[in-house]
């Protein structure tokens, strides 16, 4: 999947006479949850169905925005993104899209009329032959453009529009990023994964911590919670530390089973801010400082507790490793921790 940053990144051949054009959708796609996936699947299906006799076809393209429009219009709003842009693009790549156009969202960009947005970006830049969107689509100045408006503009220009009905969970609730945030804030990792269709990820740069975990025999990769994305409540979780392709010496992502601690570690009084710490099971040879990693949270294990001394803490940490291995279905490593 190609990623185009801004209009200058889009190859001129896409919309040139005789060029492939595109089947396009628009949205934030925060988390790329099941509702998003339904729309993206239709984009890919429509693009493939419009193949020409010579085998060429329109490109399946998603247009997304960064930063989130809410953060531009209301900077004081507390709206943590479910996924970083990097993880959003990783998830979008799994849907079969040919390309994603990332538009830098600004107040000037937001001031375009719905007609100007559609005709400049979708039809002009991307040569849209069809547009696929959800029922709740909004675009243009003051969010004045909706599904009906889009259909009218495109119909006048001979561009097909498909409106995908809301996709709902078995209980009837609409899949949404808001729902995902609610589940994450409640510590329900499995519920969030059900809405997302995949485990929730945090992402950040590994920084130097207190090195207390290494001294105790449980070295950790430390991420500053404030830079990691939507961080669930304090506690210990089972999950995976994911290294980017090439970081671990392989062309694919390297996924390492990990016990993950989120909070300030109340056993000690020298951790002033929340941190995310991931202990990779059975590994004390990793040097991850300065590396950008993802943390996948699979299940909540226990609350953050204050222990009366190191021995009770070490006993619990060993049990956390056992519990994590059980959740992830991996072997329990040789007992760790300071003797």
Q: Which residues are catalytic?
A: 277
CA distance 223 to 206: 5
CA distance 23 to 126: 9
Largest CA distance in the chain: 76
Considering only CA atoms, which of 39, 71, 237, 65 is closest in space to residue 140?
65
The answer to whether 160 touches 23, Cβ cutoff 8 Å, is no
Specify burial of residue 18 (Cβ count, 10 A radius: 0-12, 13-18, 19+): exposed
CA distance 57 to 54: 9
List b or e across 188-203, with b for residues whose CB sees 16 or more CB atoms inside 10 angstroms: bbeebbbbbbbbbbbb
The answer to whether 237 touches 208, Cβ cutoff 8 Å, is no
């Amino acid at each position: 999947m190609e990623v185009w940053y801004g209009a200058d990144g889009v190859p001129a051949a896409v919309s040139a006479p005789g060029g492939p054009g595109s089947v396009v959708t628009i949205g934030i796609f925060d988390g790329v949850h099941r509702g998003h996936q339904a729309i993206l699947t239709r984009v890919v299906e429509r693009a493939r169905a419009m193949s020409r006799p010579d085998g060429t076809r329109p490109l399946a393209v998603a247009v997304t925005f960064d930063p989130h429009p809410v953060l531009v219009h209301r900077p004081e709003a507390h709206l943590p993104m479910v996924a970083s842009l990097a993880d959003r693009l990783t998830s979008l790549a799994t849907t079969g899209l040919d390309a994603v156009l990332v538009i830098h969202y600004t107040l000037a960009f937001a001031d375009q009329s719905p007609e100007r947005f559609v005709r400049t970006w979708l039809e002009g830049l991307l040569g849209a032959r069809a547009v696929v969107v959800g029922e709740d689509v909004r675009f243009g100045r003051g969010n004045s453009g909706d599904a009906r408006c889009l259909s009218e503009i495109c119909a006048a220009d001979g561009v097909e529009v498909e409106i995908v009905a809301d996709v709902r969970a078995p209980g009837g609730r609409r899949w949404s990023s808001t729902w995902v945030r609610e589940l994450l804030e409640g510590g329900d990792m499995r519920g969030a994964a059900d809405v997302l269709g995949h485990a929730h990820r945090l992402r950040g740069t590994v920084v130097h911590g207190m090195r207390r975990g290494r001294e105790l025999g449980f070295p950790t990769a430390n991420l500053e919670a404030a830079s990691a994305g939507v961080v669930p409540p304090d506690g210990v979780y089972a999950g995976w530390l994911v290294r980017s392709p090439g970081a671990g010496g392989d062309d694919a992502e390297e996924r390492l089973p990990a016990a993950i601690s989120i909070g300030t570690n109340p056993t000690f009084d020298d951790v002033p801010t929340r941190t995310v710490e991931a202990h990779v099971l059975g590994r004390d040879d990793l040097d991850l400082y300065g590396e950008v990693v993802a943390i996948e949270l699979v299940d909540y294990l226990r609350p953050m507790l204050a222990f009366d001394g190191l021995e009770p803490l070490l006993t619990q940490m060993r049990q956390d490793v056992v519990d994590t291995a059980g959740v992830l279905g991996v072997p329990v490593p040789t007992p760790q921790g300071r003797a």
